[in-house]
Amino acid sequence: MLLVNGKIMSKIMSPEVSPDYDYYSVVPDLTISSFYNNINVGDHIKLFSIGATDTNVACLKAIRLFENNVDPGSSSNGMGGSDFTNSFTLGSLQSIYTGNINSEKPNKIFQKGNSITTNANEKLYDWYSAKDNILLAQTKEPIYTPATSGKYFLKSTYEGCRIISEIVDFKAKKGK
């Protein structure tokens, strides 16, 4: 991982709770004299850029920011008490962080009717339960129909890189 204008403070590699991910705690290089001029409510502040030394552009798409209240917390198995929660303060101790700016992933998944589908165009699709990280099905079609409501994700290979989708909160529709 390459970080511009920041420091990697801690890292957890392949924790038990989510062995397909590595987690890095990043702190941007800011000094006591850092300031932002002409900020208005709703403005975005770019804190840092991340990338990889791998030249495969598809692999760069696999990098994503930690999602508060979605990704594993500090007490989850294998996280070693490390807190990777995103936070940013400006002029006080209260965090003004509201979320990550989403980027288009090559295997975005979404609910369509009583199924989950993806924009990925691959030969095989591995569908997982996000609750316990268990493979539920491997399909040749970009669609999966869960038996129950719950959180699910997809693992697929995109241009030689293993890509893990975001989690979808699937709500089973009655009578279908």
Going by C-alpha positions, the residue among 5, 11, 13, 81 that lies closest to residue 45 is: 5
**3-state SS assignment for residue 59:** helix
133-137 long-range contacts (CB < 8 A, ≥24 apart) are: 133/17, 133/18, 133/19
Residues facing 161 on adjacent strands? 158
Map out the domains of the chain as residue ranges.
1-102, 109-170
Measure the CA–CA gap between 26 and 38, rounded to whole angstroms. Answer: 26
Q: For position 20, what pLDDT does the model report?
A: 78
Per-residue pLDDT of the chain (176 residues; tens, 9 = 90+): 444 467 788 899 999 988 878 898 887 776 655 666 777 887 777 666 666 655 555 566 667 788 888 888 999 999 999 999 988 887 788 888 877 766 556 678 889 999 999 887 888 899 999 888 889 999 988 999 999 999 998 988 766 777 788 888 999 887 65
Q: For position 115, what pLDDT does the model report?
A: 93
Cα torsion 22, 14, 126, 121: sign: positive
CA angle 14, 8, 92 (to 5 degrees): 115
**Ordered DSSP codes for 77-92:** TTSTT-------BSSS
Residues facing 154 on adjacent strands? 127
**3-state SS assignment for residue 163:** strand
